[in-house]
């Protein structure tokens, strides 16, 4: 059942809906991963990494809401439930316990890389059927790539 009538054809709606749902899952998980690492990071670069992690959380949370609301506007029910996120995310598992600052940086570089790769695929998929959704994905991917650059610079 859809309460909202989409301006897109059924085929385009399926493509765009899948892209938005995948983006939502990855953003929700990215926020959770970054927060988990944020709570457990230790080491000489604790403060800078700790603060940088919160910036990633803020970006992921802000854009997850934008992505979910775009899906709703198109008549696609967004699914950010924990079971859906756990079964669909591209991000690997975070180790339990304290995480050294160097490992925290590696985790975020890998996590951001996985999400960015999938976001770029979604940008490609949504370009023709829905430039509005494509634009949302381009904007958020640009911000994620900035975070990835900053974490990669930490690992030198």
Mean pLDDT of 85-93: 92
- What's the pLDDT score for residue 84? 96
End-to-end CA distance of the chain: 51
CA separation for the pair 12, 29 (Å, rounded): 26
Q: What is the pTM assigned to this prediction? A: 0.95
Tell me the average pLDDT of the chain: 95
* Residue 112, both tokens: 């951001």
102: confidence class by pLDDT, cuts 50, 70, 90 = very high
User: Cα separation of 72 and 84, whole Å?
Assistant: 17
Backbone phi, psi, residue 100, to 5°: -60, 150
Q: Please determine, for residue 74, whether its predicted confidence score (pLDDT) is greater than 90.
A: yes
Name the residue among 51, 52, 55, 64 with its Cα closest to residue 23. 64
Q: What is the pLDDT of residues 1-11, one digit of tens each?
A: 567 888 999 99
Statement: residue 156 has pLDDT above 70 = no
Q: What percent of the chain has pLDDT over 70?
A: 98
């Amino acid at each position: 059942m859809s309460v909202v009538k989409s301006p897109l054809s059924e085929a385009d709606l399926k493509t765009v809906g899948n892209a938005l749902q995948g983006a939502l899952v990855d953003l929700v998980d990215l926020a959770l991963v970054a927060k988990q690492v944020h709570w457990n990071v230790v080491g000489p670069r604790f403060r800078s990494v700790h603060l940088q992690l919160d910036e990633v959380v803020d970006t992921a949370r802000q854009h997850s809401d934008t992505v979910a609301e775009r899906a709703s506007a198109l008549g696609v029910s967004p699914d950010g439930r924990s079971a859906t996120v756990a079964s669909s995310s591209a991000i690997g598992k975070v180790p339990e316990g304290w995480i050294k600052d160097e490992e925290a940086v590696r985790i975020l570089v890998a996590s951001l890389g996985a999400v960015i790769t999938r976001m770029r695929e979604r940008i490609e998929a949504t370009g023709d059927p829905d430039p509005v959704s494509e634009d949302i994905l381009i904007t958020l991917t640009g911000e994620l790539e900035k975070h990835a650059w900053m974490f990669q610079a930490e690992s030198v």
